[in-house]
Chain A
């Protein structure tokens, strides 16, 4: 995912292969770690961090309601 995110230009369009820096190994957070060489990762793999954080937020939202329903006995 990490590399794929950097492959998008500022307007969200894909940066073409061969663009400056493209395909070069880099360090820090913009490393190629996690990307499969030569293959485009799927949606889930590409966006796993934002999806995980979004899922976490959704679970907390639902969990807070379920807690009142069941944990505090509102449904009883």
Chain B
């Protein structure tokens, strides 16, 4: 840490301590009882709510995944009927995307962005409260469809017509829930943009912001631009299903393929919504444990912006098999392959950050390195899928399932785990159990590969996705994958144990927590006071804030 950073640290930490005491004794703290969580407008409380919600949904979505894998343990229909199996694949995706990864990142944004930019709270605290509380109601509605006569959605999370329009009346509830989840996301994104633009501490220029803040700023714009497109698409599905319109019904002059275009215009940027904040987290963790500044900060910012831009012009690579003009195929193929350039810049920069660093391998770093290696595996299989002629072979096989699960599980989920271990001492004031954390990482990493790597093999051999039954030749690798699934699923109970144990007590964390940590969040006491940076810290030109 540089001396200029020390200046910021002491100045701000003292102020934060003073402000903390001042508030504890003379002004408002958290409200007592359960109403604290219902009415809170505090960014830390709301961040905590998002993170716990995400954890609960992780186990609900995970249980659905285990139903899927249990059914696929052997060929033939074993445990659930095919309709319910299809509901499980659909709901698993919706829960994991909208209920786990996105809320977890929003929770981390709530906790960390104000502290990283030296702000006292989010710009719009009441909106923040609404953004969160809409979500549990939306998911209650979505999950309740599983108990309705017509069952839950079973046409896949992509909701393709005409299949999805064959669903019963519970479809209206699904659409309603998706609309509300979208409203929650857009409100949260507006709040994040307003916070970053308006609430930065004096001297905190854009190019002094930590990468996590940058990646969230860009992600928030992606959300604002794409979620309304999804909302428009599902509104049209609703009117097609219940009000006699024919937006996507070929019989009425509509175009089902048009839905796919609209959906993926949302869906592909959504993929980057699920991974850009992860890039920000990894960009925070690797420099800390390599004890070096992030290599190529500027290029990281531009690479993130480039990925965001490119994400808008690649959507039809999900649709190569629908048929399209050769020029279209070529455009979407090359545009998709171009994404590997800024992504490669990031992977290079993370690796270069570690180069000749004084590295240590605490649990957050292990998860970050796990992310780096396994996300790259997912990226490379994505590059294979980008090639039109190859994609026509791979489309709708387990190779695709392997690809996006490598990106999302040892990618996005690992980054969330890494972030939790990294910032948990700052949140709770206690160190987590490092030995258990390392066990959690290694057990998870073994089983996540046992789970997902065989899917490449069965996919390349031609096994279709979204089916409850399969040919005998795929039996062995499916059995292996199912063993991996249960191993990975149950190993996550360790994570809950470690987090709960840390919340309840443990070795006291210092303010800085990690020897190589940089940034304003480490200048406040551990645990972070209920109110921080009510007096904005002064950031000098030489201050280290990222």
Q: List the interface of chain A (C-beta within 8 A of B).
A: 1-2, 5-6, 8-12, 20-21, 26-31, 49-50, 53-54, 56-65, 68, 72, 74
Q: Which residues of B contact A62 (CB under 8 A)?
A: 232
Q: Which residues of A contact B228 (CB under 8 A)?
A: 57-61, 64
Q: Which residues of A contact B262 (CB under 8 A)?
A: 64, 68
Q: Is the CB of B247 within 8 A of A68?
A: yes
Cβ-closest chain A residue relative to B254: A74
Inter-chain residue pair count (beta carbon < 8 A): 128
Cβ-closest chain A residue relative to B45: A10
Please encode chain B, from 87 to 100, with 1 for each CB lying within 8 Å of some chain A CB and 0 for all others: 00000000000000
Q: Is the CB of B125 within 8 A of A28?
A: no
Q: Which residues of A contact B245 (CB under 8 A)?
A: 74
Q: Is the CB of B199 within 8 A of A30?
A: yes
Instruction: A21 to B534: give the CA distance in the assembly, Å.
Output: 8
Please encode chain B, from 190 to 215, with 1 for each CB lying within 8 Å of some chain A CB and 0 for all others: 11011011111111110000000000
Q: Is the CB of A5 within 8 A of B194?
A: yes
Show 16 residue pairs from A and B whose CB-CB distance is below 8 angstroms, ordered by the A residue: A6-B198, A9-B120, A9-B531, A10-B41, A11-B28, A28-B118, A28-B539, A29-B117, A49-B198, A50-B127, A53-B193, A54-B186, A59-B228, A60-B228, A65-B232, A68-B247
Please encode chain B, from 225 to 245, with 1 for each CB lying within 8 Å of some chain A CB and 0 for all others: 101110111011000000001
| Residue B163 interfacial (CB < 8 Å) | no
Q: Which residues of A contact B224 (CB under 8 A)?
A: 53, 56-57
Instruction: A61 to B253: give the CA distance in the assembly, Å.
Output: 22
| Residue B246 interfacial (CB < 8 Å) | yes
Q: List the interface of chain B (C-beta within 8 A of A).
A: 28, 40-43, 117-121, 123-127, 186, 189-191, 193-194, 196-205, 224-225, 227-229, 231-233, 235-236, 245-247, 253-255, 258, 262, 530-531, 534-536, 539
Q: Is the CB of B235 within 8 A of A65?
A: yes
Instruction: A54 to B185: give the CA distance in the assembly, Å.
Output: 12
Cβ-closest chain A residue relative to B193: A53
Contacts A64-B228, A65-B232, A68-B247; is A28 near B202 (CB within 8 Å)? Answer: yes
Q: Is the CB of A54 within 8 A of B198?
A: no
Cβ-closest chain A residue relative to B120: A10
Among A6, A10, A49, A58, contact of B531 (Cβ-Cβ < 8 Å): A10
Q: Is the CB of B125 within 8 A of A74?
A: no
Q: Is the CB of A68 within 8 A of B202?
A: no
Q: Which residues of A contact B121 (CB under 8 A)?
A: 8-10
The 6 A-B pairs with the shortest beta carbon distances in the complex, nearest first, are A64-B232, A27-B202, A29-B200, A61-B228, A60-B228, A28-B200
Given A12-B126, A64-B232, A65-B236, 12 additional A-B pairs, CB 8 A: A6-B119, A6-B198, A27-B203, A30-B119, A30-B201, A30-B536, A54-B190, A56-B224, A58-B228, A61-B229, A68-B258, A72-B258
B38 to chain A, nearest CB (A): 13
Contacts A10-B41, A11-B41, A53-B193; is A5 near B199 (CB within 8 Å)? Answer: yes
Q: Is the CB of B232 within 8 A of A11?
A: no
Q: Is the CB of B198 within 8 A of A5?
A: yes
Contacts A64-B233, A74-B247; is A53 near B199 (CB within 8 Å)? Answer: no
A1 to chain B, nearest CB (A): 7
Q: Which residues of B contact A72 (CB under 8 A)?
A: 255, 258
Q: Is the CB of A57 within 8 A of B198?
A: no
Instruction: A54 to B503: give the CA distance in the assembly, Å.
Output: 37
B119 to chain A, nearest CB (A): 7
Q: Is the CB of B202 within 8 A of A30?
A: yes
Q: Is the CB of A68 within 8 A of B41?
A: no
Instruction: A8 to B190: give the CA distance in the assembly, Å.
Output: 17
Q: Which residues of B contact A10 (CB under 8 A)?
A: 41-43, 120-121, 125, 530-531
Which has the most chain B C-beta neighbours within 10 Å: A6, A8, A11, A58? Answer: A11
Instruction: A61 to B233: give the CA distance in the assembly, Å.
Output: 9
B72 to chain A, nearest CB (A): 37
Q: Which residues of B contact A5 (CB under 8 A)?
A: 123-124, 194, 198-199
Q: Which residues of B contact A28 (CB under 8 A)?
A: 118, 200-205, 536, 539
Among A6, A12, A21, A61, contact of B41 (Cβ-Cβ < 8 Å): A12
Among B42, B200, B231, contact of A30 (Cβ-Cβ < 8 Å): B200
Q: Which residues of A contact B531 (CB under 8 A)?
A: 9-10
